[in-house]
Amino acid sequence: MLRFFDLIDLSKSFILKTCYIERAVYGILGFYGVYKVIYYTLLDPLRKIPGPWLNRLSEISLIRANVNGDFTNYLLGLHEKYGHIVRVGPNKVSDARTKDFKKVLSTSRFKKSANYDGFANVHQNLFSTRNDEFNRMRKRQVGPALRKSGLGSIDSSIEEVCVDAFVKKLNSIVDAGNGSAEFNFFKYYLNVAADVIGLLTFSENFHAIENGDHPIIEWVDESMKNFGLSKSFPILKVAMAFIPSLSVNESKLSKFCLEAIDKRRQLIKSGKIDTDHVDILQMYITAVNTSNKKPLTDEELVAEMVTMVIVGVISTSATMTWLTTFYLLYPKVYNRVVDEIRTTFPDKNKKITAKEAHEKLPYFTATIYEGLRFRGSVGGSLNRDVPNGGVELSGYFIPQDTIVSMFIPGCHADTEVWENPKSYNPDRFLGPNGDELKKELVSFSTGVRACVGRNLAYMEIFMIMSNLLRNFDISAPKDWEYNTNILDPTRNNEPLLPRDITNAVRTPANPERDSRVVITRCEH
């Protein structure tokens, strides 16, 4: 009986101790919560930055938007409500002012933030690196291949893909459809971009246009999604190293690049390829790192090749996808573009070069610039760490070590620069301020970290789109959910656009449904 009461006493003592511990934990949490409220209300150096109150405590809203693919629209909504500068996290602000964008990106004082580590695969690369000297070294190594002069040396090869193979494929599906055919332009642009990047990077045509697909496109798509998730959850990069199934397509892409590297080395060793041969792989293989005076390792080569393939395939195709969508929804714009192209280049047997299109087709060129502004492929932000001493942006002092996210779509909606930014209006680039407005585009970033691939992107867009519209008429399918009669009241009652998502790159949310077009052969 005595033991029984002893057990009761022990149980009572345990319960009381547990209650005391629980109360202590709740007390500590409550005290911490009160401290945080007082800190973020009275002491926080970013307390004057407008934004949702929750964003002072956590980035959960930003992370949720990123995971859902709603990153771009979430930030656009915040900036429309709160202004140029918005608080998006305890130590992060989003900036959508073009003037601030140029101020931050024009100097190397603002270092890339830690989230760029999520874009590194097996090694830091030209895009992911946060080291300025490494960035300069890589640009010196690969720059010649991506300059206009370097691209000019393989212009005929790019023409064969962007014009010959593409037009041939479209003619074949039109013939099969008895003069008319429907095709998914998002998918076809991916195929073209894949074949181009294959030639430029490996001197290898993937024949994605001819065959209607190539595995590398799926690998690129999955890799982009992984990179986007790693930005919000850095621990995923660690998990992927231990759980291969999480990054199987990324691994396939890396393996493909490594095999291409081994194959090229064997060709060089056997003397079957000219060491002066110009493609990106060759330039990297023959390059020497200034940091250690040694050639690039396999890991370094794979990192650069993977990055080049991913960026080269997805970004240009997304830009052309949105441009085609605008042509379908704005018939006056489309008719004016077609008339300009076919009047200027009446001979169907003569291919239009990118240089000719840019120099002789001003309105067509304006539609491309406006497409890049209005809904370019980059839907995210460029994160930078504020240096010692802090910085003043749009009237707010931002202390050092704060992350400033320079939001590209927000800059393209900056009312200080763009009149009626929610309207798709190519004429803005033809007016008296047209040349100045072109300088305000930040689609390819600006300053010391401007995109090295912008010349290639422009070459593809000008060449593909001009020859497509020279040879074919396009129209929306009868069952397309969007047309000129379905208007968007949030955009001055202009045509409603297909919903978009952002996985590092901004694309239609449902390309299988929304990126379809009917094509017929132009007979005049």
Q: Which helix (H) or strand (E) holds 158?
A: helix 155-159
Binding-site annotation: residue ranges: 451
DSSP 40: I
Sheet with strand 85-89: strands edge to edge: 85-89, 92-95, 403-407, 381-385, 111-112
Tell me the C-alpha to C-alpha distance, in Å, between residue 26 and each of 15, 228, 403.
16, 36, 32
- Angle at CA of residue 137, ends 133 and 141, nearest 5°: 170
Burial 498-507 (b: 16+ CB within 10 A, else e): bebbbbbbbb
* Burial degree of 27 (CB within 10 A; 0-12, 13-18, 19+): exposed
* Interatomic CA distance for residues 524 and 516, integer angstroms: 24
* Interatomic CA distance for residues 462 and 455, integer angstroms: 11
Q: Hey, what amino acid is at 99? A: K
Which DSSP string corresponds to 124-137? --TTT---HHHHHH
* Interatomic CA distance for residues 498 and 515, integer angstroms: 9
Radius of gyration of the chain (CA): 27
* Interatomic CA distance for residues 206 and 216, integer angstroms: 9
Which DSSP string corresponds to 473-521? EEE--TT-S--TTSEEGGGTTEEPPPPEEEESEEEES-HHHHSEEEEEE
Binding-site annotation: residue ranges for heme: 451
Which among 462, 455, 450 has a CA at the least distance from the CA of 150? 455
* Interatomic CA distance for residues 38 and 26, integer angstroms: 18
Q: Which helix (H) or strand (E) holds 267?
A: helix 248-269
Handedness of CA 434, 437, 441, 446 (dihedral sign): positive
Which among 359, 286, 366 has a CA at the least distance from the CA of 333? 366
Q: Is 176 left (phi over 0), alpha (psi -120 to 50) or beta?
A: alpha
226: Cβ contacts below 8 Å, ≥ 6 apart: 236, 240, 246, 247, 250
Which among 407, 409, 325, 408 has a CA at the least distance from the CA of 367? 325
* Interatomic CA distance for residues 48 and 230, integer angstroms: 30
Which among 449, 462, 436, 371 has a CA at the least distance from the CA of 105? 449
* Interatomic CA distance for residues 476 and 514, integer angstroms: 10
